[in-house]
Amino acid sequence: MKLLVAIMLMVIVLSASGCQRTLFPSNEPRTQFDVHERMRDPYIQLEEPDEFGRPQPALRTRLSHRD
């Protein structure tokens, strides 16, 4: 019984402490294409606020033709 409680406590502690860092920090490139795009062109916003101030994907900016 004590062994089961100790194992459960260890699982809870390890699972709670496992998520300290974010997997993909916002200042790091996520793919090799992000690195290429930042070197080739000026940085393009990924999100823009809508009329209520909530962040929305900036699809028009990202999908528009760049010269």
Higher pLDDT, 29 or 57: 57
Please report whether residue 16 resides in a domain: no
Higher pLDDT, 37 or 50: 50
Please report whether residue 8 resides in a domain: no
CA dihedral 21, 33, 35, 45 (to 10 degrees): -80
Please report whether residue 36 resides in a domain: yes
Q: How confident is the model at residue 7 (pLDDT cuts 50, 70, 90)?
A: very high
Total domains in the chain come to 1
| pLDDT score of 20 | 66
Neighbours of 45 (CB within 10 A): 10
- Could you list the residue range(s) of the whole structural domain that residue 67 is in? 29-67
State how far the Cα of 67 lies from the Cα of 50, in Å rounded to an integer: 26
Please report whether residue 22 resides in a domain: no
